[in-house]
């Protein structure tokens, strides 16, 4: 039996006017276990909630009668010009959301002049995604216990034309996924992380009573450290970003190690619960990085105003996770294109009403502080 409860929408109803409007039609289409995987978070979902509410707590300062002519949302990242700063975050197994999976997302991102970060755990081969969409792709990976396989994947990503590597560093082990456990999530056999075919599996580890399931496992023994980041950097010419940093000291170390960029992220609240919101962690990371490399962020972006707030606090661009999956599940490629279009249009409205013609005009001065009242 398929995990899809209904076919995707044939046309986008006029009642869908913002990112959040895609959640209900997505949920209606997906069996509850798979939905818990796609939309859920770790433990009590506190970090997921914080990511959203922290944006809502921030207020913008309007500026009037500003010169707007010639404004735009363009940004350059690692030598690629993008029409807007909204990247599609790496999300695994997108065929769980829609039969067209990553191809639909890549086509939409490409059509809207943006970039997509393809997950190492994509349900479509990186070569096939690259062949289907002309737009810029980045490749997200974990440094796997099978280092040889990791390097082979990097070569495949390079040959497919990916323009940057994003190493996820905040998930050496899976989070406590109670939502998935309660809903009984089992990955349907029809959807698989096909880019990982051929990887040497870790030996199975069954902890003896009294033995640690994590610390005594082969996974812990093979977990990457800073030495593996240096190893990867010495084995690729692509810019390497580290994704999943919240602490300014880790950000500074990443830059010193040679990272080309930082993604401030708490994995959308899916790894360790009770972490702070990413928008709250962003300013200290931006200070520690001190302009040496671009800082991106993700987690909780649902509105153009959220994007502007992230830029005001020093992000060069943002990544969007769950909203893309909602739009994909509800309406496939046209849904994702519509979502990105709406977010970009909202960003433009927010820029115009705060007197920003360019993304670089967004500074901390855009945020209303109580002292201003
Ligand atoms: C279903 C799902 C799968 C994800 N898979 C990955 C992944 O394979 N690699 C990764 O680095 N992050 C993964 N993430 C995290 C996202 O890249 C991103 O950090 C997060 O979703 C941003 O928060 P948002 O969903 O509030 O936008 C996943 C997120 C979701 C919701």
CATH number for position 355: 3.20.20.70
Helix count and strand count (H, E) for the chain: 13, 10
The residues, ordered by sequence, that sit 6+ positions from 97 with a Cβ below 8 Å of its Cβ are 26, 30, 38, 325, 328, 329
Query: CB neighbours (10 Å) of residue 225?
Result: 11
Boundaries of domain holding 49: 19-194+226-367
* Residue of minimum CA distance from atom 12 in ligand 1: 90
Let me know if residue 210 belongs to a domain.
no
Q: Quick check: CB of 303 below 6 Å from ligand 1?
A: no
| Ligand 1 midpoint to CA 69 (Å) | 36
Say how many domains are in the chain.
Answer: 1
Using most ligand atoms within 8 A of CB, pick from 185, 195, 242, 267 the residue to mutate for ligand 1: 267
First to last CA, the chain: 59
| Residue pair 67/297 in contact by the 8 Å Cβ criterion | no
Q: What's the pLDDT score for residue 212? A: 82
- Distance between CA atoms of residues 249 and 333, nearest Å: 39
Let me know if residue 310 belongs to a domain.
yes
Let me know if residue 1 belongs to a domain.
no
Provide the annotated active-site residues. Answer: 267
| Residue pair 140/90 in contact by the 8 Å Cβ criterion | yes
Beta strand 295-298 pairing with 261-264:
parallel
| Ligand 1 midpoint to CA 365 (Å) | 30
Q: What's the pLDDT score for residue 371? A: 65
Let me know if residue 212 belongs to a domain.
no
* Per-state percent for the chain, helix, strand, coil, to nearest 5: 45, 10, 45
Q: Could you write out the DSSP letters of every residue in 143-210? A: --SSHHHHHHHHHHHHHTT---EEEE-S-SS----HHHHHHT----TTS--GGGTTPPPPPP--PPTT
| Ligand 1 midpoint to CA 39 (Å) | 9
Nearest in space to 371 (alpha carbons), one of 20, 161, 59: 59
* Residues in the chain with pLDDT values less than 70: 371, 373
Let me know if residue 238 belongs to a domain.
yes
Q: Quick check: CB of 267 below 6 Å from ligand 1?
A: yes
Let me know if residue 10 belongs to a domain.
no
Nearest in space to 179 (alpha carbons), one of 303, 322, 364, 59: 322
Q: Quick check: CB of 321 below 6 Å from ligand 1?
A: yes
- Distance between CA atoms of residues 4 and 188, nearest Å: 11
298 Cα distance to chain centroid: 6
Q: Quick check: CB of 92 below 6 Å from ligand 1?
A: yes
306 Cα distance to chain centroid: 15
Let me know if residue 201 belongs to a domain.
no
Let me know if residue 164 belongs to a domain.
yes
Q: Quick check: CB of 91 below 6 Å from ligand 1?
A: yes
Q: What's the pLDDT score for residue 157? A: 98
Q: What's the pLDDT score for residue 1? A: 75
Q: Quick check: CB of 300 below 6 Å from ligand 1?
A: yes
| Ligand 1 midpoint to CA 146 (Å) | 23
């Amino acid at each position: 039996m398929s995990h899809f409860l209904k076919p995707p929408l044939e046309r986008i109803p006029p009642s869908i006017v913002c990112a959040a409007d895609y959640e209900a039609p997505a949920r209606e289409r997906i069996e509850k276990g798979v939905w818990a995987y796609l939309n859920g978070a770790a433990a009590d979902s506190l970090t997921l909630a914080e990511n959203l509410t922290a944006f809502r707590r921030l207020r913008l300062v309007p500026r009037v009668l500003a010169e707007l002519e010639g404004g735009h949302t363009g940004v350059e990242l690692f030598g690629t010009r993008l029409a807007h700063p909204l990247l599609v975050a790496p999300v695994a197994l997108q065929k769980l959301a829609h039969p067209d999976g990553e191809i639909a997302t890549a086509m939409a991102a490409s059509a809207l002049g943006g970039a997509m970060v393809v997950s190492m755990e994509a349900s479509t081969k990186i070569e096939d995604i690259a062949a289907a969409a002309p737009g810029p792709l980045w490749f997200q990976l974990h440094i796997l216990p099978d280092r040889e396989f990791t390097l082979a994947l990097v070569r495949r990503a390079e040959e497919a034309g990916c323009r940057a590597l994003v190493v996820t560093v905040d998930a050496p082990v899976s989070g406590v996924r109670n939502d998935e456990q309660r809903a009984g999530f089992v990955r349907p056999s029809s959807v698989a992380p096909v880019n990982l075919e051929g990887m040497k599996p870790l030996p199975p580890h069954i902890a003896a009573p009294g033995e640690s399931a994590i610390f005594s496992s082969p996974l812990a023994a093979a977990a990457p450290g800073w030495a593996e980041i240096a190893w990867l950097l010495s084995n690729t010419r692509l810019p390497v970003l580290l994704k999943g940093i919240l602490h300014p000291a880790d950000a500074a170390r990443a830059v010193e190690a040679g990272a080309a960029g930082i993604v401030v992220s708490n994995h959308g609240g899916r790894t360790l619960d009770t972490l702070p919101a990413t928008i709250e962690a962003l300013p200290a990371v931006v200070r520690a990085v001190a302009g040496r490399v671009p800082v991106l962020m993700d987690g909780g972006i649902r509105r153009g105003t959220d994007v502007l707030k992230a830029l005001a606090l020093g992000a060069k661009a943002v990544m969007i996770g769950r909203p893309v999956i909602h739009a994909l599940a509800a309406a496939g490629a046209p849904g994702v294109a519509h979502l990105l279009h709406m977010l970009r249009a909202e960003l433009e409205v927010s820029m115009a009403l705060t007197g920003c013609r360019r993304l670089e005009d967004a500074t901390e001065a855009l945020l209303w502080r109580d002292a201003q009242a």
